[in-house]
Amino acid sequence: MSDRMLTMAQALREAMSIAMDERPEVFILGEDIGIYGGAFGVTGDLYHRYGKERVRDTPISELGIVGAAVGAALSGMRPIVEIQFSDFTAQAMDQIVNQAAKIHFMVGGGLNVPLVLRAASGSGTGAAAQHSQSLEGWFANVPGLKVVIPSSPYEAKGLLLSAIDDPNPVIFMEHKLLYKIPGREEVPEGGYRIPLGVSRVLREGKDLTVVATGIMVFKAIAAAQELEKEGVALTVIDPRTISPLDMDPVYESVEKTGRLMVVQEAPEHGGFLNEVIAKVATGPSLGSLIAPVVRLAGMNIPIPYAPQLEKAAVPQVPDIVKAARNVVANWR
Amino acid sequence: MMTSALITGHPLGSKANARYALLTMSRIRKFEEAVEDLFGRGMVHGTMHLSIGQEASPTGVCMALNITDQITSTHRGHGHCIAKGADLTRMVAELLGKEIGYGGGRGGSMHIADVETGNLGANGIVAGGIPIAVGAALASQMMNKGTVAVSFFGDGAMNEGAFHEAANLAAIWKLPVILACENNKYGMSSSIELAFAIDHLSERGLAYGIPGVTLDGNDVSAVYEATEVAVKRARAGEGPTLLEFVTYRWKGHSRSDKNLYRTKEEIDEWKKKDPILYFEHVVREKALLTDAEIAEIHKLATDQVIAAVNEAMKAAPADPAGLLDAVFKKVSA
Amino acid sequence: MSKFDYAVIMPKMSMTMEEGELLGIRVKVGDVVKSGDVLFDVATDKIDMEVESPSDGVVKEIIGQVGSTMPVGAPVLMLLTDTQVMSFDFNSLPIEAIVPVVPTPGIEVPIVVPFTEPVVVRAVPKARVIAQNRGINLQTIAATGPFGTITYEDVTNSQVFGANDARKASNRKMVAETIEKTRGIPQITLSRFSTHTTASLEQGSAHLVSTWARILRRNAHFNISTLDEKAHPHVGIALIMESKYGLAIPVFKDPDLSAGTDLLAWIQLTRAQALHGKVPVEMLSGATTSIFDLSHTKISSAIPLLLPSHTTALSVGAPQAAFAESEICLTVDLRYCDALEAAQLLDQLIDAL
């Protein structure tokens, strides 16, 4: 295995290191990101390399640190806030939703907030209902925020560098199970950028278009590999950013396959990928559909604790395989 | 803890400074009266919050700042904006929903910001601007800018978590920030007696290791002097200061306020402590300004406000065509 | 002392208030009032409010009628005030000084394919689209899908002959008979690769159509009608395109004389009209040559077929990604030109492209 098969935690750290080398105004702040190295080890040794000013440990004070980041971003800095668990953004919601997202618009464009808020998201670690949510849909429903969901180390590094370059607030949702999994492709050295708002078609197949985000991209590809053996061919599309959302590859693919499936870990009710379905239903490729749209999402429940309950609460690879097989067999 | 004006040898003891202080307070008063009239005629959409009676604190604080120093303001923010040097025409235009308004009609009364004068914006969320001012001070410290950030907020904001989190961060990082509480005695209808169990709100500084001072917020000289001390501390790297300016709003919280929670006698009592009349009295006593000069200053402020209203009225209304492009700043190539 | 005229108006007191009822007036003409004294009482949809004097002064005139409902901004009484009160009566402004708000059109909503079948028919969207294009009544199709839904294959596999299928068949027959007539003509087809540069199918078509027209205008002996053996005064290019009823052959007359953007819009409009089966009648005649553009397919080249009375025909293949080139073929009627002249003509065209 090549030494560039990094984990997502390593790739994110590399991106932040490159950004701090490139721009003196970039700094990181958050809880336990200094000597401790971050609750999930993402900041790692950055504290020792860049010092306590630029890798700034904060008190447990989410509203305060996001607000301070907003003020610093308004005044020439480019802060990266790490929120230990995305669930804690609820503590900082005023600064994210009422301040960061709206300032540029409300004041007529004279001010802008180049802020990145990284947050560990998703279930699978047994941390239960207050440490396991997938809240990207909240932020996607707030105009003024960009929302990024990396699905692999390669994507994470390139997207984070673009997020740091961006003059607007960017919410960066990192699935905690992906931190330690090596990616499916090498992570290039140096500061490559992946533009925000460009979907990626990861594989093409004629039978079904699957749109998935975050860890569900990983699961959808595993499902596609399994189905390939039975002759069912899946197209897998990772939007990478859900705000802005690049729908063109989805329309193009649905025109070819005539079938659409969306997969997300967040609860189904009001979930973001419903937006993808709505856009297909109101967009140019509706007339190509030969099957009802299939929706796989988390159950409409808080994430439970026990491992078997936790697993049952969100879509797994066999669920994707089964649903894909059925829709292709039943609708021709 | 109330201090009084020490005009002799005071920076406001110069004719020019006294004139500037009176002109600024008069401009705020006339502006508020003008927009109240426009609102009464149905020409201002939404609602607004007037600061008549509170003109001394924004004036005194901003006179102690440089143009590069930053402020965050509140829903009752017209005075802060004017004192920091904003253009009256663009302010009126924003309230009238005009394209030339500070926010192009997208923000209205509660969201006026002015980059050129270091005003990071009024805020519709109580205490919303406090952590932002702390962040601006953090940027100043990290970039060695030597600038100070002032957060204006009301008494009500001191019971929001944002105040406490922001004050603590400012203290532990010794940030060049001034927490300027304009205690006008009511958070909408809740009196400070209902909302606090302490005598002076400045006592809360103690909990965070921040010096706190309570002042007569209707005495522009006292406000100026206290702010100067706090600015010096901030620029010297000694950290934040909490200033409590005791004042009073003459008008209701917003336009639909019936003043059920306070008496006419109380309002009348505070009208006697009019910050403008008080300052006029002081400068007359000290022979800094003559009656004719005082009248001339008010005339100038009145004319400026009338001109601003007339110009703003003629401006083109805000255009919905640009709305979708206004949400994000363009990513430069 | 009292020296400023000031009208105390029916004030707007809430976000929604448009008018108020004057409940009572507490002062009379000649009364001396202090700032903050209550002048009159008002009732609105939400609240009752007291309206206070904004300044010290004297009551000059009472205008409002107690018990009446007055619009926001209407004067209730006049004061003579000691200090100038901020007051702006823009009713005296010339109308044109106040620019009206111009409503802008809403955001465009993507057009959804209209469903014309009765709602009781269950069918997947693509089955509906195909049925509509072919003029098939979905009620005549047997459903095999889940929930009694007509599937895509139910329509494509069915032997039902749609109303448009019939028109398509007769159209096809007509085209075949036309081509039949030129089969015996001595002809030659030449081809050459051309670098592909244009972005969209329409842009490519527009560029080709206008360039080909310009070349033919310059080489008038190729723009001859075989019926009367005379040069045509116009260049008319028949652009073969898809229609609801099979192939449509609308004619673009003198396309090189219209501006590039106009021609592009003309071609786009015609293509949309053709898809709906409606080409303007004036575009059905007057062709002197034809173009068969296959650049939106994967076909690399097709031999162009001469239409009756034409001396030339052109076809364009799909660009081959590996070479960024597409193949252009030219067929000519050898009774009116020789093969070498044809080769020079094709060279001229491709060099001009």
SS3 A332: coil
Task: Decide whether A8-178 matches A200-330 in CATH topology.
Answer: yes
Q: CB distance from C110 to chain A under 8 Å?
A: yes
Neighbours of C297 (CB within 10 A): 11
Chains touching chain A, criterion 3+ CB pairs below 8 Å: B, C
> Is C110 a residue whose pLDDT tops 60?
no
**Residue-wise DSSP of A19-73:** HHHH-TTEEEEETT-STT--TTSSSTTHHHHHHHHHEEE--S-HHHHHHHHHHHH
Find the CB nearest B168 among A27, A64, A103. Answer: A64
**Predicted pLDDT at C2:** 66
Residue matched to tokens 């105009």? A143
Give the pLDDT of residue B252.
86
**CA–CA min distance A323, chain C (Å):** 15
The 3-class secondary structure across chain C, one letter per residue, is CCCEEEEEECCCCCCCCCEEEEEEECCCCCCEECCCCEEEEEECCCCEEEEECCCCEEEEEECCCCCCEEECCCEEEEEEECCCCCCCCHHHCCHHHCCCCCCCCCCCCCCCCCCCCCCCCCECHHHHHHHHHHCCCHHHCCCCCHHHCECHHHHHCCCCCCHHHHHHHHHHHHHHHHHHHCCCCCEEEEEEEEECCCCCHHHHHHHHHHHHHHHHHHCHHHCEECCCCEECCCCEEEEEEEECCEEECCEEECHHHCCHHHHHHHHHHHHHHHHCCCCCHHHCCCCCEEEEECCCCCCCCCCCCCCCCCCEEEEECCCECCCCEEEEEEEEECCCCCHHHHHHHHHHHHHHC
Could you tell me the domains of chain B? 13-313 (3.40.50.970)
Say how many CB pairs under 8 Å bridge B and C: 74
In this complex, do A107 and B131 lie within 8 Å of one another by their Cβ atoms? Answer: no
Across the range C142-146, mean pLDDT stands at 91
Q: Please, are residues B78 and B30 in contact by the beta-carbon 8 Å criterion? A: no
ipTM above 0.90, yes or no: yes
Q: Least CA distance to C46: which residue of chain B?
A: B256
User: pLDDT digits over A106-156, tens only?
Assistant: 999 999 999 999 999 999 999 999 999 999 999 999 999 999 999 999 999
Given this model, what pLDDT does residue C247 score?
85
The average pLDDT across B87-99 equals 97
- Hey, what domains does chain C have and what are their CATH numbers? 4-87 (2.40.50.100), 107-160 (4.10.320.10), 169-352 (3.30.559.10)
Phi, psi torsion values for C7, nearest 5 degrees: -90, 120
What integer pLDDT is reported at residue B6 of this predicted model?
42
Count of residues making up chain B? 333
Contact between A70 and B140 using a beta-carbon 8 Å cutoff: no
Give Cβ neighbours of residue A260 (< 8 Å, ≥ 6 apart).
A208, A209, A211, A250, A254, A276, A277, A280, A289, A291, A293, A294
* B contact residues 35-54, partner C, Cβ 8 Å cutoff: 36-43, 46-47
Question: What confidence category does residue A239 fall into, taking pLDDT thresholds of 50, 70 and 90?
Answer: very high
pLDDT at B74: 97
Contacts of C66 (CB under 8 A, 6+ apart): C22, C23, C24, C25
Q: For chain A, give the mean pLDDT.
A: 97
CB contact at 8 A, B220 and B288: no
**Higher pLDDT pick, A47 / C284:** A47
- Tokens representing B93 are 């235009």
Q: C124 and A282: CB-CB below 8 Å? A: no
pLDDT at C119 (0 to 100)? 54
Q: pLDDT per residue over B105-152, tens digit each?
A: 999 999 999 999 999 999 999 999 999 999 999 999 999 999 999 999
Tell me the pLDDT of chain B averaged across its residues. Answer: 94
Distance of CA C319 to the CA centre of its chain: 28
Among residues C67, C57, C69, the alpha carbon closest in space to that of C27 is found at: C57
Share of chain C above pLDDT 90, in %: 35
pLDDT in tens, A62-100: 999 999 999 999 999 999 999 999 999 999 999 999 999
- Interchain CB distance below 8 Å, C125 and A291: no
* A8-178 CATH choice from 1.10.10.1590, 3.40.50.360, 3.40.50.970, 3.40.50.1820: 3.40.50.970
pLDDT at position A277 is: 98
Per residue in B159-217, pLDDT tens?
999 999 999 999 999 999 999 999 999 999 899 999 999 999 999 999 999 999 999 99
Residue A274 has pLDDT above 70, yes or no: yes
Examine the pLDDT at B2 and tell me if it is beyond 80. no
Per-residue pLDDT reduced to its tens digit, C159-169: 888 888 888 88
Among C109, C112, C126, beta carbon nearest to A288: C126
Name every residue in C having a CB less than 8 A away from some CB of B: 9, 11-15, 18, 35-36, 46-47, 49, 54, 72-73, 84-90, 93, 97-104, 107
Instruction: Please check whether residue B225 is in contact with residue B10, taking contact to mean a CB–CB distance below 8 angstroms.
Output: yes
Segment among A266-275, A319-328, B37-46 with least mean pLDDT = B37-46
Q: Which of B32, B250, B256, B319 to mutate to test the interface with C (most CBs of C within 10 A)?
A: B256
Closest chain B residue by Cα to residue C18: B42
Say yes or no for a CB contact (<8 Å) between B139 and A76: yes
Best B41, B266, B271, B291 residue to mutate vs chain C (most C CBs within 10 Å): B41
Q: Please tell me the predicted confidence (pLDDT) of residue B35.
A: 95
Q: Domain residue spans in chain A?
A: 8-178, 200-330
- B82 sits in which H/E element: helix B78-83
Chain B contact set for A20 (CB, 8 A): none
Rounded to two decimals, the pTM is 0.83
Q: Strand, coil or helix: what is A212?
A: strand
How many angstroms from the chain centroid is the CA of residue C241?
20
Structural contact between residues B231 and B148, judged by C-beta atoms closer than 8 angstroms: yes
pLDDT band at C322 (very low <50, low <70, confident <90, very high): low
Quick check: C100 pLDDT over 80?
no
Amino acid at the residue C256:
D
Q: What is the pLDDT of residues B35-85, one digit of tens each?
A: 999 998 889 988 889 999 999 999 999 999 999 999 999 999 999 999 999
**More reliable by pLDDT, C231 or A170:** A170
Per the DSSP assignment, residues forming a β-bridge with C328 are: C192, C316
* Closest residue, chain A, to C115 (C-alpha): A287
Pick the CATH number of A200-330 from 3.40.50.920, 3.40.50.1820, 1.10.1060.10, 3.40.50.970: 3.40.50.920
pLDDT of residue B204: 97
Tell which of A57, A75, A96, A148 to mutate to test the B interface (max B CBs under 10 Å): A75
Residue B259's closest chain C neighbor by CA? C49
Active site residues of A: 62, 131
What are A13-48's pLDDT values in tens digits?
A: 999 999 999 999 999 999 999 999 999 999 999 999
Residue B136, class by beta-carbon neighbours within 10 Å (0-12 exposed, 13-18 middle, 19+ buried)? buried
Q: What share of chain A is helix, strand, coil (3-state, %, to 5)?
A: 40, 20, 40
Which range is least confidently modeled, B88-97, C10-19, C149-158? Answer: C10-19
Within 8 A of C126 by CB-CB distance, chain A residues are 258, 287-290
Residues of chain A in contact with residue C127, where contact means CB-CB under 8 angstroms, are 290
- Please give the pLDDT value at position C95: 42
- pLDDT digits over C252-266, tens only? 999 988 877 789 999
| pLDDT score recorded for residue C114 | 52
Who among B37, B313, B314 is closest to C86 (CB)?
B37
Half-sphere exposure in the Cβ direction for C97 (13 Å, CA): 10
